[in-house]
Amino acid sequence: MKEKLLEITDLHAGVEGKEILKGVSLSVNKGEVHVILGPNGSGKSTLMNVIMGHPGYRVAKGGIFFEGRDISGLKPFERARLGIFLSFQAPEEIPGVTVENMLRMAREAVTGKHERIFAFRRELKETMKTLQMDPSYSERYLNVGFSGGEKKRNEILQLLMLRPKLALLDETDSGLDVDAVQIVSGGVSRFHNEDNACLIITHNTRILEKLKADRVHVLLDGTIAEEGGPELIEAINREGYAQLR
Ligand code: ADP
Ligand code: MG
């Protein structure tokens, strides 16, 4: 019996005056990779943001459970501490905070343990090497002047350094060239193991080359319109979303 990590039940959520998610239910076990597909504007990013506790969204109904505990009242940092990680569709630039400092602070905040600078730096350099990132990036301000692809790669660096239990990846592969998608996909597959899970929003099946999708959910206008195994990805690629409407 697999251990349940995330459970969402009949989730209704949105912004002031607008319902975006209209009854989403979803369950992710440890060790699994789930993929969320859906046309632009169907509510995919909203779902990720609501799971992470983004204050801009309001949950009107339904529950979000993480390891059996209702987390819907928790702040984003409290959810991060429980082991939830969100990689943004459009990562923010943070002038004045270097990549290394941000990562060290984030890991200390999540684990509650002091990081020894030299050991941390060594691990960071090694991890950056696996993502083919130049070591000089660790001294640069977070995402400032980074290309789209570098920002996405930096999100995977965060994933590998923070080692959450649940990785929410919102189009981490979009806008990347073929080689960069391979690197991102390799990074996610290095992260993934039997004790964690990934929920991946993508339009590009290449990110799944190094990962086996256990379950696919298609979001259409704020509801799950279809669910299935990896074969659903092929069907959508072939026939589009129109058949599901
Ligand atoms: P997706 O990620 O599937 O493309 P989103 O979750 O970003 O879709 O958006 C779903 C819908 O909700 C869109 O119509 C979008 O304009 C709207 N929406 C999302 N966030 C906000 C917000 N903060 N304020 C107003 N509308 C929003
Ligand atoms: Mg989106």
Ligand 1 atom nearest residue 89's Cα = 2
The sign of the torsion formed by the CA atoms of 177, 152, 172, 32 equals positive
Query: Where does residue 145 fall: left (phi above 0), alpha (psi -120 to 50 degrees), or beta otherwise?
Result: left
Ligand 1: distance of its center to the CA of 46 in Å?
A: 6
The model's pTM: 0.95
Helices assigned H by DSSP within 163-230: 178-191
Output phi, psi for 9, to 5 deg.
-125, 125
Cβ atoms 218, 224 nearer than 8 A = yes
Pull the structure tokens for residue 154. 């930096």
What's the pLDDT score for residue 88? Answer: 84
Q: For a pocket test of ligand 1, which of 20, 42, 50 has the largest count of ligand atoms closer than 8 A to its C-beta?
A: 20
* Ligand 1 binding pocket includes 43 (Cβ within 6 Å): yes
* Confidence at 97, pLDDT banded by 50, 70, 90: very high
Of 245 and 25, the structure prediction assigns the larger pLDDT to: 25
**Mean of the per-residue pLDDT values of the chain:** 94
Which residue ranges form the domains of the chain, and what is each CATH number?
4-244 (3.40.50.300)
Amino acid, single-letter form, for residue 78: E
pLDDT over 70, % of the chain: 100
> Rounded to whole angstroms, how far apart are CA atoms 244 and 236?
9
Which residue's CA is the nearest one to ligand 1's atom 20?
Answer: 46
